[in-house]
Structure 1
Amino acid sequence: MKKLLFAVFTAFVFFAVPVGAASARVFLSIATGSTGGTYYPLGGGIAEIISKNVPEFQVTSETGNASAANLNLIGTRQIEMAFAQNDIAYWASKGMPPFKERYENIRVVASLYPEHVHGITLKGSGVNDITDIRGKRVSVGAPGSGVLGDVSAILKIAELHYGDMSPDFLDFNNTTQRFKDGQLDVGFVVAGYPTSSIIDLAATNDIDLISFNDDFMTKLTEEYPYFIKDVIPAGTYRGIDSDIVTPAVMAMLVCEASLSDDVVYRFTKALWENIADLHKVHPKAGLITLVTALDGVSVPVHPGAARFYTERGMTVPTVK
């Protein structure tokens, strides 16, 4: 796409022109997700906010294939900004599967909202803790998915192996269908709550969710810094009558490292100073706050964004 080189060139022209001269425009594109997902409307909302409040910037959002595909675009310098989960950004930066090479040019603009690990089971299954899945029929996520990567990390901390259970490698919809067919004891889904497929399952089955104890969460977040400790509140799904403590990953807005500090600073500033406008775009946007803007950061923060957060008295994490 060659957009990045053009964007960098226009940014250079804009900041090089004398005061009073006609200003060149800065063009930025944001890779999002499918039109039916959360990334797409949020990307459109952010593009509109920045374009409106920084007139020299022309920001557009584009449909994408979510985290892994978006990070490939950033890594190969085909787009300037993208939405991605922080766990998958971490794997991309290290060249871990599903990535075949290290992408060291991924930078964080902001953490946005959590996407929670749902360890689904049925009431009466005998599964109350992660260690109880030994010997059970378990859906661990589709091959190459972020869910499978997250479950693998969780199992390592729990000192469990796939050979300790009967694993099935299923996506969200097939996981809930297998429950309905009586073919699963446990299924893992990683998504923001409430998740439609789980709502549908809870309407016809007495579901439960695995809650993780504090000791486990401490070990998990120390070993894998892209996880945060969070809660799925009681009442989120039918039959869930108490808060569920569970790991979560963060949806993030990331950018390509070579974008100028000034461009990213002005983008970040405009986003947070007008965040109330984004809250109107989608229910999930209400969880996007400055307080959590650096939660779960798994790759370095862009210096332009870091400048904004430092000005607000926030501590920018150092990520190597």
Structure 2
Amino acid sequence: MFKKSVTKILLLVLLVALVAGCTAQGNGDDEGAGDAGGTKYISIATGGTAGTYYPLGSALSQIFNDNIDGVTANVESTGASVENIELIAKGDADIAFIQNDITYYAAEGIEVFEGKDKVENLRGLAMVYPELVQIVATKDSGIESVEDLKGKKVAIGAPGSGTEANARQILAIHGLDYDDLGKADFLSFDEAAAQLQDKQIDAAFITAGIPTAAITEVSQNTDIVVVSVSEDKINEAIEEYPYYIGIEIPKGTYEGQEADISTIAVMAMLVVPEDLDEDLAYNMTKTIFEQRDDIIATHERGKDIQLETALTGMPIEVHPGAMKYYEEQGISQ
């Protein structure tokens, strides 16, 4: 009799455990949930650790984790703009830093995306800061102008990166292409910085917010020259590629830089997938602007993140969750 009672109790406990397990598993499929506990995991695609995307992405992960309930955000180092487009398109990232020109190319299926399907699931969250096209050369190279790059060993950015597209376009308006260089090296920011210091290359194109860590490091260890783009070539670039703007790198930005340097810039922006939960997109946008001081504390470019310019130059449709926040704040395209 005792054995039968024990058996019945054990069967009852087993049945309750099975039901509880099934219920928990079913509840784990709620929208926005990343696991059975309802956590939403957010992957933030940035760039190389020596650029500007990565520290800003780290700041975003921190403010999202601290201010959005149920969110665990992680920053990922990537090959930057072009790779980030692919990560968003495939659903492998939830928010990404991307140059506005690259976003436009992807949406239209042109330039580096020519011959590929248009990427139609991209949505804008915010425009964030200008990314300056910086041409840095070793002083020993004798390079003082873009034309002087002819016959030199030049880093032109990681393969398929926004920097690479910028380098190709700037060379083109000066009547040059990669064949005119002594060597066109497809290098990341970190690799370019290391090879400039080791005198393995003569110059590098680096498109990023200023000051850029990779250039700062080089300038502290090697005598460098930051090359200007002439006013007429800046105007020619803007006429040919309307997403560019003329801008200056203020003197003193880098060690040994004694004058303002004229160049062109694109805009860095935050891109999310079309199917990102609307409430989450709203909360992410709200947190970025309400916790802006924390971003500024991480990197100087946080100062450029301003509500008033969040939609200026937006090349794609804004995510409805983000647009809801902007409309509440009286901001429109």
Report the TM range for the smaller structure's normalisation. Answer: 0.7 to 0.9
What SS class does the counterpart of residue 73 from structure 2 fall into? strand
Cα root mean square deviation, aligned = 3.7
User: Normalized against structure 1, the TM-score is what?
Assistant: 0.75
1:250 aligns with 2:267: yes
1:97 aligns with 2:112: yes
What's the counterpart of residue 15 of structure 1? Answer: none
Task: Report the AA paired with residue 69 of structure 1.
Answer: E
Question: For residues 77 and 182 of structure 1, do their structure 2 counterparts lie closer, same or farther at Cα, with a shift above 3 Å needed?
Answer: closer
Q: How does 1:12-161 map to 2 (within 5 A)?
A: 27=40, 29-33=42-46, 36=49, 38-50=52-64, 52-55=66-69, 58-65=71-78, 66-95=80-109, 96-97=111-112, 100-123=116-139, 127-161=143-177
What's the counterpart of residue 3 of structure 1? Answer: none
What's the counterpart of residue 325 of structure 2? Answer: 308
User: Which deviates more from structure 2 when the two are superposed, residues 182-191 or residues 73-82?
Assistant: 182-191
What's the counterpart of residue 16 of structure 2? Answer: none
Aligned residues with identical type, % of pairs: 36
User: Which deviates more from structure 2 when the two are superposed, residues 155-164 or residues 38-47?
Assistant: 38-47
Aligned residues: 299
Where does structure 2 lack aligned partners over 5 or more consecutive residues?
A: 1-26
Q: Which has the larger radius of gyration?
A: 2
Question: For residues 64 and 176 of structure 1, do their structure 2 counterparts lie closer, same or farther at Cα, with a shift above 3 Å needed?
Answer: closer
Q: Deviations over 1:116-163 (max 9, x none)?
A: 222123458664443443454433334333322111121233332233
What SS class does the counterpart of residue 230 from structure 1 fall into? strand
What's the counterpart of residue 293 of structure 1? Answer: 310
Q: Deviations over 1:26-60 (max 9, x none)?
A: 836132347945545533433443455454x5252
1:10 aligns with 2:27: no
What SS class does the counterpart of residue 238 from structure 2 fall into? helix
Q: Deviations over 1:220-253 (max 9, x none)?
A: 2343344333322111122211111222233322
Q: CA separation in 2, counterparts of 1:173 and 1:315?
A: 38
Name which of 282, 288, 305 aligns with 1:271: 288
Give 1 or 2: higher helix fraction.
2
CA contact (8 A) 1:50 1:59 kept: yes
Q: CA separation in 1, counterparts of 2:166 and 2:230?
A: 17
Question: For residues 59 and 218 of structure 1, do their structure 2 counterparts lie closer, same or farther at Cα, with a shift above 3 Å needed?
Answer: farther
What SS class does the counterpart of residue 267 from structure 2 fall into? strand
